[in-house]
C-alpha cells in the first residue's frame, strides 16, 4: 500500500519493492527511503573503483555508495566544523547506519593509527559484513580539495597494513564533503591506487538569528503544554463537560 500510494512510476516502484525484499525494510524504513529518494542517490558517488578494484567487486561496491548522503537528522550551524558533524553522527548512530545501508558495522571514531612514531586518527571506521573489508570515512566541511584524497589514500594504506587480516578485502575509503566539482575529483583520484569514493552530504542548518526570534523555543512550547494540561485538569474538576 505504501508503494502504491507514494510511488506512481512503475519502474521506480519495482526498484523499491526489490530493495525492500532484499534488505528486509520495515514499513517505516521503506517510507523513509522513498521520502529521501534513495533510488536517485544510490550508486552516484564519484569513485576510482573501476581502476582500483577487480571487475567482480567494483560494480557491487559502487552501488553501495550514495551521493548525496542525507543527514537530515543533524542540526548544525552553517559554520560547523568536521568534529561537530562527527559528534552529531555518533549521537545519531542508528540513523547514520540506516543511511549508510545494510552491512555496515561501526568499529570506532577517531581510531588511532601509529605510523613512524606519529599518531594519526581516522574520523570514522566501519567494517562491511557483506564485502568483508574495512571502510574508512573522512568528514570534511566545505568544497572538495584534491589534497584530501591523498591523505585518505595514506590512511587506507595504513589500515591495510595495521588492521587488515588475511580474509579481509582491500580497505575502501569514502570522503564526505559538503560539495564537489566533478572534474577536480576525477583528476584527484585518477592516479590513486587505493579504492576511494567521494560524496556530498546534506544536513539541517540552524535557522538564521532573525528567524530564530520568530520561532518558539522548546521552553516556550513546554509552557504552552503545561498551561493546556492545567486548563484540562480545571475543566475536569469543575464537573462533566458540556
CB 141, CB 177: distance < 8 Å: yes
pLDDT-derived band at 25, boundaries 50, 70, 90: confident
- pLDDT per residue as tens digits for the range 54-106: 887 888 888 889 999 999 888 776 666 788 888 889 999 999 998 998 899 99
How far is 241 from 7, CA to CA, in rounded Å? 45
171-191 CB burial, b ≥16 within 10 A, e <16: bbbbbbbbebeeebbeebbee
How far is 65 from 184, CA to CA, in rounded Å? 19
**pLDDT given at position 136:** 97
C-alpha closest to that of 1 among 37, 102, 20:
20
- pLDDT per residue as tens digits for the range 161-202: 999 998 999 999 999 999 999 999 999 999 999 999 999 998
Give the Cβ contact number of residue 66 at 10 Å.
23
Domain map (residue ranges) of the chain: 1-39, 42-206, 209-242
Give the pairing of strands 196-205 and 172-177: parallel
Query: The CATH number of 42-206 is which of 3.40.1350.10, 3.40.50.300, 3.55.10.10, 3.40.50.970?
Result: 3.40.1350.10
Q: What's the number of CA atoms in the CB half-sphere (13 Å) around residue 28?
A: 2
Amino acid at each position: 500500500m505504501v508503494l502504491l500510494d507514494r510511488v506512481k512510476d512503475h519502474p521506480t516502484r519495482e526498484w523499491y519493492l526489490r530493495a525492500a525484499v532484499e534488505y528486509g525494510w520495515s514499513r517505516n524504513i521503506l517510507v523513509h527511503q522513498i521520502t529521501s529518494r534513495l533510488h536517485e542517490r544510490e550508486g552516484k558517488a564519484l569513485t576510482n573503483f573501476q581502476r582500483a578494484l577487480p571487475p567482480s567487486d567494483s560494480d557491487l561496491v559502487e552501488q553501495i555508495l550514495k551521493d548525496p548522503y542525507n543527514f537530515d537528522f543533524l542540526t548544525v550551524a552553517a559554520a560547523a566544523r568536521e568534529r561537530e558533524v562527527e559528534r552529531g553522527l555518533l549521537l545519531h548512530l542508528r540513523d547514520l547506519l540506516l543511511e549508510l545501508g545494510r552491512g555496515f558495522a561501526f568499529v570506532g571514531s577517531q581510531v588511532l593509527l601509529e605510523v613512524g612514531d606519529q599518531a594519526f586518527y581516522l574520523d570514522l571506521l566501519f567494517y562491511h559484513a557483506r564485502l568483508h573489508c574495512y571502510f574508512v570515512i573522512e568528514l570534511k566541511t566545505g568544497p572538495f580539495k584534491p589534497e584530501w584524497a591523498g591523505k585518505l589514500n595514506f590512511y587506507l594504506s595504513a589500515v591495510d597494513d595495521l588492521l587488515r587480516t588475511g580474509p579481509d578485502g582491500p580497505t575502501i575509503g569514502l570522503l564526505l564533503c559538503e560539495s564537489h566539482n566533478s572534474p577536480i575529483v576525477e583528476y584527484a583520484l585518477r592516479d590513486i591506487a587505493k579504492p576511494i569514493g567521494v560524496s556530498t552530504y546534506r544536513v539541517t542548518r540552524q535557522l538564521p538569528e532573525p528567524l530564530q526570534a520568530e520561532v518558539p523555543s522548546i521552553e516556550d512550547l513546554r509552557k504552552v503544554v503545561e498551561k493546556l494540561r492545567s486548563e484540562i485538569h480545571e475543566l475536569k474538576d469543575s464537573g462533566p463537560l458540556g
